Structure 1
Amino acid sequence: MNSMTYVLTTNGVLFLISLLFWKFPPKKINRLYGYRTYKAMLNQQIWDFANSTFNQTFLMYSGFSFLGGLLLASFSAKELSWEPMVLVMLSIIVSIIKTERALNDTFTEEGKKKK
């Protein structure tokens, strides 16, 4: 598989998924779709905040990942193997960490908004 196809099927698909999450966020707490952690599912206010925060950061970092992968594929002298996948994993991990930090900064462990 050539490098450009690899980037499009990894980083490109991740960016497409982030666009879907951003365009069609989950409305109600559910176990199938959305940012689902214990704290995010405590109540509707936290659910809305967590999904909004995650969708924004996920869109941004998956976009960076996609652009970075395209740059790697364009300027790489050899075929890419693991590099685009590292960008995918970093995008997901950074989005989760930023969302959890925002949840901890905004809400208490009981699910009430901090003052």
Structure 2
Amino acid sequence: MPCRGRACPARGFPAKGRFPSGCGPHICGPYSLLKVEVNFMWFWWFMLLCDMLVPIVMVIVGRMMWKHCPKHINSLVGYRTTRSMKNMDTWQFAHDYCGKLWWKVGWVTTIASALIHIPLYHSDENTIGIAGLILVAIQCFIMVASIYPTEKALKNHFNDDGTRK
């Protein structure tokens, strides 16, 4: 498409200075608006991926903890608290309980995160970025806060020495 005589490096006019609306370096006509829309779209998709990371990890890891509890008590892998590491019974109970909790909460937060993120599709980068940061902070808080109900369930089902009540 011809540049219609505006400042354009393709036609030999200087690329310095201010370009008329709809024209920029190497982009003449209405195509510069398309470039801006594509950049926002990629940022939105990137933030959607980032916002879905924590809930999807909760779903996958929760399912693994629930269905495939580590065979031995260890200090590297699994739900590791003092109460859960008392014996093999507390270890399996903690993984079963926390795994089910993470699996359920992970699905709820996945759906909620998508529903919160979808209306931001045509927003500017700052709005999308700030909303994404707040969303990830809330998701991480929920993930860490799941320790409390798990420890409470362990306390309700086991004595301090690890024997069942």
The one of the two structures with greater contact order (alpha-carbon pairs below 8 A, sep at least 6) is: 1
Q: Which of residues 76, 80, 93 in structure 1 aligns to 2:144?
A: 93
Distance 1:65 1:37, change over 3 A: same
2:59 corresponds in structure 1 to 15
1:54 corresponds in structure 2 to 98
Distance 1:63 1:56, change over 3 A: same
The higher radius of gyration belongs to 2
TM-score normalised over the length of structure 1? 0.83
TM-score normalised over the length of structure 2? 0.61
2:153 corresponds in structure 1 to 102
Give the helix-richer structure, 1 or 2.
Answer: 1
Identical aligned residues as a percent: 24
Gapped runs of 5+ residues in structure 1? none
Q: Deviations over 1:22-58 (max 9, x none)?
A: 3432122111111100110010011111110010001
Count of residue pairs brought into register by the alignment? 114
Q: CA RMSD in A?
A: 1.9
Gapped runs of 5+ residues in structure 2? 1-42
1:20-99 aligned at under 5 Å gives the runs 20-76=64-120, 77=123, 78-79=127-128, 80-99=131-150
Work out the CA distance in 2 between the residues paired with 1:71 and 1:53. 27
Distance 1:90 1:64, change over 3 A: farther
Distance 1:23 1:106, change over 3 A: closer
AA aligned to 2:111 is L
Matched, 1:111 2:162: yes
75-84 or 100-109: which moved more? Answer: 75-84
Q: Deviations over 1:46-89 (max 9, x none)?
A: 11111100100011112111111111111234413323213322
Work out the CA distance in 1 between the residues paired with 2:63 and 2:51. 17
